[in-house]
């Protein structure tokens, strides 16, 4: 596709340049690009699958281990937070010690933690191991794109990126149905056990075909930045999740949010004084980077928060089997497969500003339509908004990536990629926490003054209908609708911000937009 005069082309952005962003950093006679692509696809597929299987399995985990509503959220959020905090560091470890070594180590740890989650036998163990699983994902994900950049010549890198994105999309789309089948035919631990054979194949095949990259010794790790960012994110999400049980005006809730604010302030001061900061703050001099971050946070806030509540609605409120629920979730995940490349093509043609705003607006419209869903509604009231939501998200992702990675200075492109993926994980964690808190608050108001058995309020917050107390059942649906309106408002406001704050600038071709998207999603440094 022709580009606007003066535009940056794929060749411009992927021309040979020094480590860590150059192509063919391994010798041409030892690199096996297509075999390497297959090898990293195993790890990529495993992580993509795990990002969507958990929602369908959550009610079964709750029933088996007696998890509270807040603990269900932590099954998701512990993974997201570990991944968000350590992703940029994972890319630096690959640069320092060799990408093959770190990739295979991450794959091995992902497989072992997956087995551990299934056998640990306690909700506390599941949450802890999910966090460790997030650590392993942070190790392996940045290496997937970095290894492709190191082995593919620049003229074939775009094709490799397209396949990389296709593998990820198929894994994400397959997650709900695979989870439904495994939970119904076997048990919820098999949702995690399935990673073990994939990890084993990835380890054996990867050890044979992947050529190690040359380590880079320059620069120090910003350990202080990692710890401070982790403290800020954990305190923020912990306060939102626990605020529903502690009370939003309680000293513990306020103290947790104050701790988050203090950690953020110290992080900003520290990053301004460190020679090699985790997140150089002058990166945000680019409006595109800042607004692109908002696009991703709003996008994933909506998708993961909504998915958490809708799966509870399908499984607990409507009483569908896990397979039935997985099938009904397919329009949301399956239509994301064609939506992302279409979004990349539209971004190349019309620029990221318009397409990001369009995508977020479509998401907002879909969320408003979803407020019409009731227990007795036709499935089409769910399916049609799911399709609109899938295309809205598919448009927002590549355009947001183009704003962030394309708007960053060349020497900070890797850091911008890591920032993008951090926004993805943080948006998902906060979205799950905020929308769940809204539902829990509605349930708390409806049950106030009622003499209910212990655990009843937790069950109601998870969408389980209660006999003889219709006001509590209505409160779950009402809370879900309010949550959708909150997410819709965020989407509309973010769309308006994108239109107002961003100016039309250079446009990249489709292959470049896809490459930016893939590098950002992998957190490649």
Report the Cα 264 to chain-centroid distance in Å: 22
Q: Is the dihedral of CA 492, 497, 498, 503 positive or negative?
A: positive
Running along the chain, 525 residues long, what does each successive block of 10 average in pLDDT?
37 38 48 88 90 87 88 88 82 84 95 95 94 93 86 81 83 87 92 94 94 75 83 86 81 93 93 81 82 91 91 91 90 87 89 93 97 92 94 91 78 73 84 89 83 76 82 90 96 95 74 72 63
Q: Tokens for 1, please give them.
A: 């596709």
292/324 Cα distance (integer angstroms): 36
pLDDT tens digits for 372-407?
999 989 999 999 999 999 999 989 988 888 888 777
Where does 10-222+274-522 sit in CATH, by number?
1.20.1250.20
According to the model, what pLDDT value does residue 525 have? Answer: 54
> d(Cα 93, Cα 352) in Å, to the nearest integer?
31
Of 269, 238, 231, nearest to 254 by C-alpha is: 238
pLDDT for the residue numbered 4: 36
pLDDT at 169: 82
Residue 7: Cβ-neighbour burial (10 angstroms; 0-12, 13-18, 19+): middle
pLDDT at 426: 84
Percent of the chain with pLDDT over 90: 38
Which of 248, 380, 356 is CA-nearest to residue 297? 356
Residue 218's pLDDT is 59
Write down the pLDDT at residue 1.
35
pLDDT of residue 469: 80
How far is it, in rounded angstroms, from Cα 207 to Cα 412?
A: 31
pLDDT given at position 378? 92
pLDDT of residue 11: 36
- Helix crossing, 510-522 with 413-447: angle to 10°? 60
């Amino acid at each position: 596709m022709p580009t606007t005069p003066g535009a940056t082309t794929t060749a411009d952005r992927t021309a040979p340049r020094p480590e860590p962003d150059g192509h063919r950093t391994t010798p041409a006679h030892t690199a096996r690009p297509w075999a390497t692509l297959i090898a990293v696809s195993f790890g990529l597929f495993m992580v993509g699958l795990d990002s969507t299987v958990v929602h369908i399995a959550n009610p079964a985990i709750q029933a088996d281990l007696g998890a509270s509503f807040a603990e269900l959220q932590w099954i998701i959020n512990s993974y997201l937070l570990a991944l968000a905090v350590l992703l940029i560091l994972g890319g630096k470890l690959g640069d320092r010690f060799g990408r093959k070594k770190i990739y295979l180590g991450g794959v091995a740890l992902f497989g072992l933690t997956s087995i551990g989650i299934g056998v640990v036998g306690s909700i506390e163990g599941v949450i802890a191991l999910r966090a460790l699983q997030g650590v392993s994902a942070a190790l392996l994900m940045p290496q997937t794109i970095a290894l492709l950049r190191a082995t593919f010549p620049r003229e074939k890198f775009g094709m490799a990126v397209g396949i990389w994105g296709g593998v990820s999309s198929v894994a994400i789309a397959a997650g709900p149905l695979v989870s439904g089948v495994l939970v119904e035919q076997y048990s919820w631990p098999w949702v995690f056990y399935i990673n073990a054979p994939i990890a084993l194949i990835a380890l054996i095949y990867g050890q044979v075909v992947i050529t190690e990259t040359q380590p880079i010794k320059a620069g120090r790790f910003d350990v202080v930045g990692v710890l401070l960012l982790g403290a800020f994110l954990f305190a923020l999400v912990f306060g939102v999740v626990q605020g529903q049980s502690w009370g939003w005006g309680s000293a513990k809730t306020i103290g947790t949010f104050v701790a988050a604010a203090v950690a953020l302030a110290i992080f900003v001061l520290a990053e301004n004084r460190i020679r090699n900061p985790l997140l150089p703050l002058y990166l945000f001099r680019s409006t595109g980077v800042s607004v692109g971050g908002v696009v991703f946070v709003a996008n994933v806030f909506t998708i993961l928060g909504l998915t958490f509540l809708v799966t509870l609605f399908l499984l607990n409120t409507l009483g569908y089997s896990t397979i039935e629920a997985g099938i009904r979730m397919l329009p949301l995940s399956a239509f994301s497969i064609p939506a992302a490349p279409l979004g990349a093509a539209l971004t190349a043609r019309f620029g990221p500003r318009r397409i990001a705003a369009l995508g977020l607006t479509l998401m907002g419209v879909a969320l408003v339509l979803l407020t019409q869903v009731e227990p007795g509604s036709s499935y089409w009231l769910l399916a049609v908004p799911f399709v609109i939501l899938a295309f809205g998200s598919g448009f927002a992702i590549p355009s947001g990536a183009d704003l962030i990675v394309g708007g960053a200075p060349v020497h900070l492109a890797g850091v911008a990629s890591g920032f993008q993926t951090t926004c993805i994980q943080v948006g998902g964690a906060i979205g799950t926490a905020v929308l769940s808190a809204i539902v829990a608050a509605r349930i708390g108001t409806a049950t106030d003054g009622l003499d209910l058995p212990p655990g009843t309020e937790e069950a109601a917050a998870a969408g389980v209908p209660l006999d003889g107390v219709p006001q509590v059942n209505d409160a779950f649906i009402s809370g879900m609708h309010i949550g959708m309106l909150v997410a819709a408002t965020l989407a509309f406001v973010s769309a308006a911000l994108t239109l107002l704050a961003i100016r039309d600038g250079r446009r990249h071709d489709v292959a470049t937009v896809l490459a930016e998207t893939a590098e950002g999603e992998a957190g490649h440094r």
